[in-house]
Amino acid sequence: MRRTRSTRDLTIFGIVFAVILFWIVDKVCFQVRVDHARGMSIDAISNRLFTDIISRPLHFSLYRTDLLAATASLVALGLIVLYNAGWRKERNGEEHGSASWGTAKDIRSFMDRKPAKNIQFTQTEGLSIDTHQTQRNINAFIIGGSGTGKTRFFIMPNLRRALTSYAVTDPKGEIMRDYGLELASRGYQVRCLNLIDFAQSNHFNPMKYFNREDPEVSILRLTENLINNTSGAAAKESSDSFWVSSERALLNALIAFVYFAEEDPSLPMVIDLVGRMGASEQDENKRFDVDLMFESAKHMVASYLKDPDQFDDDATRIIQGLEFAIKEYTPFTQGAGETKKSIIISLGNRLAPMQVGHVRAMLSDDDIDLGRLGKEKTVLFLELSDTDRTFSFLASIFYQCLFEENIYIADHSPEGHVQVPIQCLLDEFANIGKIPDFEQRISTFRSRWISACIVMQSYSQGKAMYKEQWDTIVGNCDSILYLGSNDNTTNEWLSKRLGSGTIDVREDSQSYGMSGSSTKSWHKVKRELMTPDELALIRSDECVYTLRGVRPFLSKKINPSTFVYEAKRS
């Protein structure tokens, strides 16, 4: 504010001074020219010059010579100013940075006039869901430690606005319990993948959502997801080890075989195949059930290669898929009996959680219909334990399938996007597990009318999970909402992101004695907009919101009691 006022005052002073200078030079030139034409001497002209000018202050000469002289004086003044400034670029008051807090004027153009048409981040700041109007995506990164109100002050209010379809991670099951019926009464289709009480869950079959044109790619992604999210920390560090690579290839083979050979393929069928596998250390040529099934598939492929014309298009596609399965299975058959037995046991242990009765039933068929999200207003709740991560890999698979299915639908629609916008409210994002290629997915959501709000307790949680890709993920979130945290890494990161400003500091010095003196001086120093320790001490009802290309906001958290949940109906 001080810098703005100082610049304005200097500008006004400069304009006034230039006008006065122009007037004086014009008057002097006019008077000298007229008196000289009358034949007056130089001394006489100079003696009466001031009197003549004052006697007619409102007179202004438009004679060419007088105007040129006055203009030349302004040019000379400008050159003198530039010379004294040293031709330097100066930013008075911004020598060490220009960071400052945003105002209502800064956010106004990014908000819809109807409050209920915005995603609300604070009591006073929101963002229109019309991304073409704002030229901003509606991906968001929400940070808040335990008890800071991530669910109460962000997820619940925005979910109740009912602007889009939603996929909501519901760690405690409280969101569906409190608002499921309300959303259903407002016309929403409500579904729930319950990974706490499986008997109460809708059914979810990941194999239903394989890419129709390239199912092999979906098979590879599903396998990668399962391997990554069912491995311990030590195994993740050595994910390319012989044993993990062998499990990956075998799982690819089994999933592909089930997908192309069965009428209604599902993951429990894959698990059953693992149970029918075996290996003999005494007789390495011994064949077990699954070996015989793959040998039968080999004969089918060989028959096709001899005479492809005898097969129709559907049969050809099945045989091509089985050929992919055989290629993935072949390395397993080449191992020694003891090696094969170890791979089978290891893979069986990895898939063991899906042997639980209610889990098998949930995965055997599908009624959750992930593609419905982009076609009509739907809310999918994912109830996930926040104390037990045994089944978190299923949450990761759920979101992987959700993204792939709706991106496929968007890409194959005439408009290039889904019919109903989809917003994913990913609470406790760290508990979901690592979603394959998420850093690439989130960068392409906007044009397809899909968005993600990543909710975490700290910045370092995401860094630990996604490593070098984490910065890319956060970089694709145009909105960041900080609700409070004691995590040093988070506060240091946000403080740096908010930037630094320039402040004036006064120094006083005083000396004592016979000739004592005192001095006062001002100088400019760099100062963070908020230091990490100030962020840690933020009030419980305050938050920090940043939007790309706009100054940050220090605001009040949403007040649920006064929040506008839906537009007034005429």
Better-scored residue on pLDDT, 131 or 281: 131
pLDDT tens-place string over residues 509-559 = 666 666 666 666 665 666 788 999 999 999 999 999 999 999 999 999 999
Residue 567 burial by Cβ neighbours in a 10 Å radius (0-12, 13-18, 19+): middle
Residues 212 and 303 in one domain: yes
Domain range enclosing 537 = 104-204+366-492+518-556
Domain membership flag for residue 147: yes
Domain membership of residue 393 (yes or no) is yes
393 and 480 co-located in one domain: yes
Burial code of 226-264, b = ≥16 C-beta within 10 A, e = fewer? Answer: bbbbbbeeeeeeeeeeeebebbbbbbbbbbbbbbbbeee
CA distances from 168 to 50, 383, 535 (A): 83, 9, 28
In a domain, 179, yes or no: yes
pLDDT digit string, tens, across residues 309-346: 888 888 999 999 999 999 999 999 888 888 999 999 99
Q: Looking at the structure, tell me whether residues 324 and 452 fall in a common domain.
A: no
DSSP string covering 84-127: HTTT----TT-TT-------HHHHHTTS-SSGGGEEE-SSS-EE
pLDDT at 377: 97
- Whether 241 and 214 share a structural domain: yes
Least confident residue range of 29-43, 140-154, 411-425: 29-43
Rounded to an integer, the average pLDDT of 222-239 is 74
Q: Is residue 240 part of a domain?
A: yes
Say if residue 352 is in the same domain as residue 375. no
- Residue 114 pLDDT more than 80? yes
One domain for residues 177 and 223: no
Tokens of 446: 């906007």
- 75 and 193: one domain? no
Does residue 164 fall inside a structural domain? yes
- Over residues 258-271, mean pLDDT: 96
| pLDDT-above-70 percentage for the chain | 87
Three-class SS state of 501: strand
Task: Return the percent helix, strand and coil in the chain, to nearest 5.
Answer: 55, 15, 35
Angle between helices 337-351 and 313-333 (to 10 degrees): 120
What pLDDT score does 350 carry? 94
> Which pLDDT score is estimated for 9?
73
Domain boundary among 35, 54, 84: 84
Please check whether residues 210 and 198 belong to one and the same domain: no
Mean pLDDT of 9-29: 79
Are 110 and 252 found together in one domain?
no
Residue 336 lies in a domain: yes
Q: Is residue 90 one of the residues assigned to a domain?
A: no
Same domain, residue pair 415 and 545: yes
So what's the pLDDT on residue 118?
94
pLDDT at 551: 95
pLDDT attached to residue 476? 97
The domain total for the chain is 3
Together in a domain, 413 and 529: yes
- Final residue of a domain: which of 339, 358, 377? 358
Section 30-55 average pLDDT? 71
Residue-level pLDDT at 64: 79
How much is the pLDDT for 568?
A: 47
Confidence of residue 13 (pLDDT cuts 50, 70, 90): confident
Q: What is the pLDDT of residue 287?
A: 87
Q: Looking at the structure, do residues 52 and 35 belong to the same domain, yes or no?
A: yes
Residue keyed to tokens 């599908």: 366
Q: Which range is most confident: 122-126, 305-309, 519-523?
A: 122-126
- pLDDT confidence band for 59 (50 / 70 / 90): confident
pLDDT of residue 90: 58
Of 84, 118, 141, which closes a domain? 84
Is the model's pLDDT at 1 over the cut of 50? no
Q: What is the dihedral of CA 83, 89, 94, 99, to 10 degrees?
A: 160
Asked, for residue 547, whether it belongs to a domain, the answer is yes
CATH, residue 403: 3.40.50.300
